[in-house]
Amino acid sequence: MSIAVEVFDSRRNQLGEGPTATGPNNNHVQWCDIYGQFIRSKDLLSGQSSEYQTSEPVGFQIPRTSGGDILGTANGPVLRDEKGNLTQLPTRQEADGFVDKNVLRWNDAKVSPDGYLFLGSMAYENQSNEGAFYRLSKDGKKLQRLFGDVGISNGMDWSTDLSKMYYIDTLTMKVEVFDYNKGEISNRRTLVQVKDGMGYPDGMCADANDNIWVAFWLGSAVRCFDGRTGELLEEIKLPVQKVTSCCFAGEKLDQLIITTAVGNPGESMDLNEYPQAGFIFIASAGVTGKKTTTFGA
């Protein structure tokens, strides 16, 4: 039986990404519109929505434990407090020791259950090896480059026992897995080799059973894979082409929030064919997910 999806929020996002669910009963759902330069939110129960704009494209947003957000603005990351004041954090140039060769931006990030922020970059022109993957310390004071040669750094999550980190570089057409130990990653290997016709693996989240839910750009779907074997377990079809990411929300963490996009700047989109492109969707996935971890600094 196929899993039904409904529209959760009909504000159209140029490039919706990075959903999170925080607050009482995990009902505060928030996401970014990267090129629309918006941070948007909606309450799962009340339906109340809000948004604010950023001065640059914003590749990720994650609520902070103390209030406000950490934002992956193009030249960030930055901390934003509840009044809108910004605090600059260490930049890629400080971490790398050199200036970006081409124009790069942050693309996706997630806070590990033990408090580190992992974040990755990509080139605007999708060059296959100019991005990199980083770790920001729990206090926000040290940004460390973990590895380079990244195409489009995308989804990530962790196993429930914190022994594994799942990771997607979209252009490799794989879901990969690392051994994980207190912020350190090692032993990179392939978990899922994406088959032709499935689209491009984008953002993702893991559920409480250590299975992973992967959004597929140009794939019109979110697909669930066994986090141990890589076996395809489930597929959620969506009425749009460009599906970007997902997270679990709600009191029981059994509602899957799914972000989508119209496309990248300059890309054409037939909104007659895909009238809901860029909307945010919700589905009852039939499993329990995991909470969004907020950022502590």
Would you give the end-to-end CA distance of the chain in angstroms? 43
What is the tens place of the pLDDT at every residue in 81-91?
999 999 999 99
DSSP string for residues in 167-220: EEEGGGTEEEEEEEETTEEEEEEEEEEPPTTS-EEEEEEEBTTSEEEEEEETTT
Active-site position among 33, 202, 207, 210:
202
Amino acid identity of residue 84, one-letter, is G
What are the extents of the domains in the chain? Answer: 5-284
Q: Is the pLDDT of residue 99 over 90?
A: no
CA distance 44 to 253: 11
What is the tens place of the pLDDT at every residue in 61-83?
999 999 999 999 998 999 999 99
Homologous superfamily of domain range 5-284: TolB, C-terminal domain (2.120.10.30)
Active site residue 196: no
pLDDT mean across residues, the chain: 94
Q: Confirm if 124 and 104 have CB atoms less than 8 A apart.
A: yes
Tally Cβ neighbours within 10 Å of residue 193.
10
pTM score > 0.85 for this model? yes
What is the tens place of the pLDDT at every residue in 144-196?
999 999 999 999 999 999 999 999 999 999 999 999 999 999 999 999 999 99
